[in-house]
Structure 1
Amino acid sequence: MRLTRYTDYTLRVLIYVGLHEPRQSSIAEIARAYGISESHLTKVVHQLGRLGLIRTIRGRGGGLRLARPPADIVVGAVVRQTEDDLALVECFAGNACAITAPCRLRRALSEALGAFLAVLDRYTLADLIDGREGVEIAKLLDLPDPRIRETENPTSA
């Protein structure tokens, strides 16, 4: 099983924005932090907004924020929503194969895909950004320590 770059970027955006909360993030800063294209991230952020995972604020002082608490964003659900094709082999997509009827491979691969997604369903964004690992990721991305949350209005400076 291999996730697309699109899903990888989606998960990275969620991690970045989640670690940056309650401050707003921008596509430009996320692109710089990860060394990836702003145009790719624009597409990702647009879909995250449509899925209700990211809230986008336009205009001066705008940016990105999580639309839900990190504990409510399930990694498996995000993968299902962003992967165009989870058909591991042709017969998953309904294409004919000479051995489909008696083939155990199809059942084995279906079971493996189910197990893969079941593991991802056990993790939320909160699991990915909390604790020591979240602090280490924040440092690598040059973000403030996520253990220190702003208590003031993040848009006032």
Structure 2
Amino acid sequence: MNLKKYTDYALRVLIFTGMKHEGELASIKEISETFSISQHHLGKIVFELNKLDLLETVRGRNGGIRLAKRPEEINVGMVVRQLENDFVLLECFDHKNNYCVISPACKLKHALNEALQAFLHVLDQYTINDLITNEDDLRQLMGID
């Protein structure tokens, strides 16, 4: 299973903003510098997370971003499902482009679908809060106070 960089970066944004004190704002620039991700790309991700009501954006000179919900209310499995546009593991998962001759009798697709569901089930057991319980270590690695 390979998640898109977009999803990876979105989770990093949620982790970063989840470590801010309540009401404290983060900036795209500081997240960009911390993770070496382009500000332009992060802007798209922040826009999407805002549309999903996971981030709140504050405009203006002293603006920035912050979580729209408490970290314990943001489920990692839900975030992954929202940001990944497909979970096509093999050709047979794509009904429009499946030309595999053994597909009607193949047991592999069922095994892989079961594995995919197990993967998502595990992610459903975690929130952003669970990912920041080692906040001191994360802050040190990110170089933030």
Q: Shared fold (TM-score greater than 0.5)?
A: yes
Q: What is the deviation of 1:21?
A: 2.8
Q: What is the identity, as a one-letter code, of the residue corresponding to 1:11?
A: L
Q: What is the identity, as a one-letter code, of the residue corresponding to 1:120?
A: L
- 2:106 equivalent to 1:118: no
The TM-score with structure 1 as length reference comes to 0.87
Relative contact order, higher structure (CA 8 A, sep 6+): 1
Q: What is the identity, as a one-letter code, of the residue corresponding to 2:137?
A: E
The TM-score with structure 2 as length reference comes to 0.94
C-alpha contact (below 8 Å) 1:21/1:65 kept by paired residues: no
SS in 1 for 2:61: coil
Q: What is the identity, as a one-letter code, of the residue corresponding to 1:93?
A: D
Counting aligned pairs with the same residue, the percent is 49
**C-alpha distance in structure 1 between counterparts of 2:85 and 2:28, whole Å:** 23
Which residues of structure 2 form unaligned runs of 5+?
Answer: none
Aligned-pair RMSD on alpha carbons?
0.9
2:16 equivalent in structure 1: 16
Alignment of 1:52-91 (within 5 A): 52-91=53-92
**C-alpha distance in structure 1 between counterparts of 2:13 and 2:69, whole Å:** 14
Q: What is the deviation of 1:138?
A: 1.3
State how many pairs are aligned: 142
Which residues of structure 1 form unaligned runs of 5+?
Answer: 145-157
